[in-house]
Amino acid sequence: MPDIKNKTGLIWFKNNLRVQDNSCVNHAIKENDSVIGVYCFDPRDYAMTPFGFKKTEKFRAQFLIETISKLKTNLNAIHIPLFVFIETPETVIPQITKTYKADKLYLQKEWTQEETEVFKKISEQLKYVKISSYYDQFLYHPEDISFDFQSIPKVFTEYRKICKC
């Protein structure tokens, strides 16, 4: 009898906390036998900034807690467990992939400095895991825009006319 490998995918939830209309969820379900999700309340997101205010204040924190609770409910409905941690993603993600033998990681593609630095630290630790990232947060996918980033009009009306939105 052949040795059948059970493929496990891990979805790293960051900013896209929807289940419907989420490329990571859709691809993970299609490509794996089992799927798990993880969300990290990164302590750095709740620390003081150099400007003297908290990066995330209490109302946004409460909103995130409620949203993660709803995400967990929505994922449970499609048989995907969500593990929630108060820890940095670069500590949690590699450990979860090892514990659950996840061979594929799904995440929303980010472009800001802090997010790309965290992603770089994680990807350096996951040489054995295939990483798939998707843009889900744009009205237009960056590859669908017919001009390069440097020539984006500064006035929205001009942009709207070019994109026909």
pLDDT at 3: 45
159 or 8: whose pLDDT is higher? 8
> Is pLDDT of 1 > 50?
no
Q: In the predicted model, what is the mean pLDDT of residues 39-63?
A: 94
pLDDT at 2: 45
pLDDT tens-digit profile of 104-141? 999 999 888 999 999 999 999 999 999 999 987 766 66
pLDDT at 149: 63
- Closest by CA to 153, choosing from 110, 145, 141, 136, is 145
pLDDT tens-digit profile of 59-111? 999 999 999 999 999 999 999 999 999 999 999 999 999 999 999 999 999 88
pLDDT at 141: 63
pLDDT at 14: 94
List of residues 6+ apart from 14 with CB closer than 8 A: 39, 89, 107, 108, 110, 115
- For the chain, list the domains and their CATH numbers: 8-134 (3.40.50.620), 138-165 (no CATH)
154 or 22: whose pLDDT is higher? 22
- Closest by CA to 103, choosing from 2, 10, 1, 4, is 10
4 or 51: whose pLDDT is higher? 51
Please state the three-class secondary structure of 54-104 as a single string.
ECCCHHHHHHHHHHHHHHHHHHHHCCCCEEEECCCHHHHHHHHHHHCCCCE
pLDDT tens-digit profile of 131-165? 999 987 766 666 667 666 677 777 878 877 777 66
